[in-house]
Each structure stands twice: as C-alpha cells, then as structure tokens.
C-alpha cells in the first residue's frame, strides 16, 4: 500500500430533520449566503420552503442562483461567481445533487479569481482559496457532499474536466435520506451505478495488501446491490435511501481510496461521453464498466476479479478462477441492465461512432497508463468504446 494523508473535516448531519442544524454553521462564518440549486425540484418537494425560513431566522441574507444544469456549465459558474463578487457574498450553499454541488464549489473558488473561471478548470490559473461551501444533498450519487472535487463542462469545447482543492471541501453537509424520496427512477438507478463505479475504481486500483480497504469497498458494493433495486421499487424506503446515501459519501471521500493507486480509468472514459453527448454520468459509467472489465481481465487482474466475484457476488470459490472472473463481469452487467434498468449500449443513449477516436485520445491521460494493473492507451479505450456501441 501507499503512504497517505487522511483528512476529512466535513461535518455531516445525517438523518431526517437534521437540516435545522445547518443555518448556525453558516452563520458562524458568513452573513450573506448564495443559495444554489437546479431546475426547481427543491421548490416542488418542500426543501426550499423548509430551508428559507431557517436561514432567515438565523439572520442570514440569502441570494439565489437557480438553473444549474446536469453536467454543470462553466457559464453558470461564471454567473455565480459574479454574484458573489457583486454582493460581497461570504458563503455558498448548494441544495441538490452532484451537479449543483460541483457547480457551487467552483463558484466558491472562482469568487477569488478575476479572470474566466474556465482558467481554473484547465489549470491555466491555480485555485487559491474558496468561499466556505455548505450542501444539502438531494440525490445519492457523486459523493461531492464530502470531497474536495468538482467536474465542470464546457459546451463550446466539448470538455468535461475535474478539479480539486482543499478549500472547496464542504464545511458541513446535510444528508437527509427523505430528501431523496422524490429522486426519479432514472436518477436513482444512475446514482447507484455512480456509487458502484467510484467503489470499483478504488477496488481495481493497485495495492493488493490493503485488505481492510478491500473489505470496506466490498461492503459498499453489496450495499448498493441490495438497496438500489429496493429504492427503485419503494422510493420512500428510508432504510434503502439512507444506506445508499451514506455509501455515496464514503465511496469517494477517500475512505477506500487513499493508500491505493489512483487510475479512475472508467471516469476518464465516461467524461468524454458526457462532454460530447451530455448523457447522464451514471448511465455512461454503467455502460462502460463491464466492457472495461472484459478488457482488463488478464493474469495481472485475475485474482482481483476472483476476490470481487466471490466476496461481492457470492460466486462459488471452488469454480475455476477464469470462470469466476467472467461470471463476475456478467453479473455486474446483468445488475446494471436488468435490475437497475440502465441502457446496455452506447447507441441506446444516442452515441454512435462519430467521435469515438477523438474521445479515446482525450480519455487516455497518463493516469491510465502509470501504476495500473493494465495500462490503457488510446487504442484500448477505442476498443472499449466500440465494445459498448451495441
């Protein structure tokens, strides 16, 4: 295993009704707060009406930015940062899923930068600081509520890129499972696939001697497998929604990541799909993951696939190793397609051959070739994309 620094100071208020604790946390560092949200579902499901009086009772002056897109745009970031500068806003509060939270984090950073926020995303300028970030989570998926990363899209350049800075880590996040009762079937399924993909990226990152982390990752995967279909069938099942919600945070806050190598190959490949076609991130991950698994299955990864198959999918350990590995991949795909109801192929989400070559080149960052079980070059990524076409 690798040396690691572990630091997750985000305060989490987990459970029904915990939102009442948030305003005091914001008030401790700010008088003016920018409330950021998406398409308005928070007005329909009552969160807005619960939150606003609480913020005002705490003596906070609230500004609002709505309309954050799925795959949030840098243009929206720029609008938010402009508001912060103009009104002397001292903290930002995201109410939504990963897209809203990611957008809000970069607004917080861009408030300290005078140029185009895209400069921060493409590393033309460094993030130096950020306004304090707070979140109220409404969809279990990206884990953005408890990590320092964000992914932003630029429609003009077909780029979807991640950035990360400790100052962007949320100070406090409210995780109320009842707020995900209204998450629709498609987003619930895609969110569950996203959580599983984060866990799988960690699980298939190098370091075979960190048994504890493997076991924790297996617990997270089994939690998704158990509760994803349950949440689809019974949207108001608290147990299902709560287990998924907490798994979404732990799967990507570092708990099962630090101490291992860090390739995150499938995410790199998926970001190209979302950048060129604006598809749902979790759909792209679920389509790519089994094909990626097929591609990397080899002597180098066989034992890991066997561990995965036996411990996560309950496959008989007495079977032949290759049989177990193949079966684990089939069970993964079957789960995504038949139990979560996610499309099986790229064509089903509107993706054809037209941009495969350029996407494969853009996806093949050095991270996919260094310190991994199986390095992926542009031709490998292209083969994986083609396998997914259907």
Q: Which is nearer to a second copy, 18 or 369 (CB)?
A: 18
Judged by CB under 8 A, the residue of 110, 196, 242, 349 near a second copy is 242
CA distance 171 to 275: 29
Judged by CB under 8 A, the residue of 113, 204, 227, 313 near a second copy is 227
Question: Is residue 316 part of the contact set for a second copy (CB under 8 A)?
Answer: no
Question: Is residue 1 part of the contact set for a second copy (CB under 8 A)?
Answer: yes
Q: How far is the CB of 8 from a second copy (least distance, A)?
A: 6
Q: Which is nearer to a second copy, 64 or 316 (CB)?
A: 316
Question: Is residue 179 part of the contact set for a second copy (CB under 8 A)?
Answer: no
Q: Which residues contact 184 (CB under 8 A, 6 or more apart)?
A: none
Q: Which is nearer to a second copy, 99 or 147 (CB)?
A: 147
CA distance 194 to 176: 19
Residue 88, SS3 per DSSP: coil
Q: Which is nearer to a second copy, 250 or 349 (CB)?
A: 250
Judged by CB under 8 A, the residue of 4, 24, 44, 123 near a second copy is 4
CB contact at 8 A, 26 and 91: yes
Question: Is residue 259 part of the contact set for a second copy (CB under 8 A)?
Answer: yes
Please give the sequence-ordered ranges of beta strands (E in DSSP) within 73-198, or none if there are none. Answer: 91-96, 133-137, 149-154, 159-164, 172-175
Question: Is residue 366 part of the contact set for a second copy (CB under 8 A)?
Answer: no
Question: Is residue 318 part of the contact set for a second copy (CB under 8 A)?
Answer: no
Question: Is residue 13 part of the contact set for a second copy (CB under 8 A)?
Answer: yes
Binding segment toward a second copy, per CB under 8 A, in 26-34, 239-247, 322-330, 333-341: 239-247
Q: Which is nearer to a second copy, 47 or 256 (CB)?
A: 256
Judged by CB under 8 A, the residue of 142, 197, 243, 332 near a second copy is 243
Judged by CB under 8 A, the residue of 226, 233, 321, 370 near a second copy is 226
Binding segment toward a second copy, per CB under 8 A, in 11-19, 68-76, 294-302, 346-354: 11-19
The partner residues of 136 in beta bridges, in order of sequence, read 95, 174
Would you state the structure tokens that stand for residue 51, as one six-digit string? 């939150």
CA angle, 144 as apex, 182 and 114 as ends, to 5°? Answer: 120
If binding means CB under 8 A, how many residues of this protein chain bind a second copy? 43
Binding segment toward a second copy, per CB under 8 A, in 52-60, 95-103, 220-228, 373-381: 220-228
Question: Is residue 233 part of the contact set for a second copy (CB under 8 A)?
Answer: no
Nearest to 98 by CA among 42, 52, 136: 136
Question: Is residue 145 part of the contact set for a second copy (CB under 8 A)?
Answer: no
Q: Which residues contact 358 (CB under 8 A, 6 or more apart)?
A: none
Question: Is residue 232 part of the contact set for a second copy (CB under 8 A)?
Answer: no
CA dihedral 285, 286, 292, 294 (to 10 degrees): 180
CB contact at 8 A, 195 and 247: yes
Question: Is residue 3 part of the contact set for a second copy (CB under 8 A)?
Answer: yes
Q: Which is nearer to a second copy, 223 or 280 (CB)?
A: 223
Would you state the structure tokens that stand for residue 202, as one six-digit string? 């960690």
Would you state the structure tokens that stand for residue 19, as one six-digit string? 């939102």
Judged by CB under 8 A, the residue of 76, 183, 199, 247 near a second copy is 247
Would you state the structure tokens that stand for residue 68, as one six-digit string? 């954050």
Residues in contact with a second copy, shown as a per-residue x/- string from 189 to 218 under the rule CB under 8 A:
--------------------xxxx-xxx-x
Q: Which residues contact 9 (CB under 8 A, 6 or more apart)?
A: 169, 171
Question: Is residue 50 part of the contact set for a second copy (CB under 8 A)?
Answer: no
Judged by CB under 8 A, the residue of 106, 250, 266, 287 near a second copy is 250
CA distance 151 to 130: 16
Residue 190: Cβ-neighbour burial (10 angstroms; 0-12, 13-18, 19+): buried
CB contact at 8 A, 198 and 290: no
Q: How far is the CB of 294 from a second copy (least distance, A)?
A: 27
Helix axes 211-233, 185-203, angle to 10 degrees: 170
Residues of the shown chain interacting with a second copy in the complex, contacts defined by CB under 8 A = 1-18, 21, 209-212, 214-216, 218-220, 222-223, 226-227, 238-239, 242-243, 246-247, 250, 255, 258-259
């Amino acid at each position: 295993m690798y040396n690691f620094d572990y630091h997750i100071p985000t305060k989490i208020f987990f459970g029904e009704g915990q939102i009442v604790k948030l305003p005091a946390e914001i008030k401790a560092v700010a008088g003016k707060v920018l409330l950021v949200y998406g398409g308005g579902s928070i007005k329909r499901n009552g969160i807005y009406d619960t939150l606003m009086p609480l913020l005002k009772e705490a003596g906070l002056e609230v500004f609002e930015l709505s309309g954050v897109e799925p795959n949030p745009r840098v243009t929206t970031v720029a609008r938010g940062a402009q508001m912060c500068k103009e009104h002397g806003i001292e903290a930002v509060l995201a109410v939504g899923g990963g897209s809203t939270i990611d957008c809000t984090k970069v607004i917080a950073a861009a408030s300290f930068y005078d140029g185009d926020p895209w400069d921060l995303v493409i590393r033309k300028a460094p993030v130096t600081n950020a306004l304090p970030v707070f979140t109220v989570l409404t969809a279990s998926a990206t884990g953005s509520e408890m990590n320092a990363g964000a992914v932003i899209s630029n429609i003009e350049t077909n780029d979807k890129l991640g950035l990360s800075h400790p100052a962007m880590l949320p100070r406090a996040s409210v995780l109320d499972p009842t707020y995900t009762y209204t998450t629709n079937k498609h987003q619930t399924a895609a969110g569950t696939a996203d959580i599983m993909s984060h866990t799988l990226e960690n699980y298939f990152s190098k370091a075979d001697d960190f048994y504890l982390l493997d076991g924790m990752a297996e617990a997270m995967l089994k939690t998704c497998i158990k509760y994803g279909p349950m949440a689809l069938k019974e949207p108001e099942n608290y147990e299902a929604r709560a287990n998924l919600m907490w798994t979404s945070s732990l799967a990507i806050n570092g708990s099962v990541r630090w101490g291992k190598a860090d390739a995150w190959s499938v995410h790199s490949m998926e970001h190209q799909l979302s950048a060129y076609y604006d598809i749902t991130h979790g759909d792209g991950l679920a389509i790519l993951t089994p094909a990626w698994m097929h591609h990397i299955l080899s002597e180098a990864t066989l034992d890991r696939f066997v561990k995965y198959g036996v411990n996560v999918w309950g496959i008989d350990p007495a079977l032949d190793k290759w049989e177990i590995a193949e079966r684990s991949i089939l069970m993964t795909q079957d789960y995504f397609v038949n139990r979560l109801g996610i499309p099986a192929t790229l064509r089903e989400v509107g993706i054809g051959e037209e941009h495969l070559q350029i996407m494969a080149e853009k996806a093949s960052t050095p991270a996919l070739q260094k310190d991994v079980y199986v390095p992926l070059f542009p031709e490998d990524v292209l083969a994986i994309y083609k396998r997914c076409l259907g």
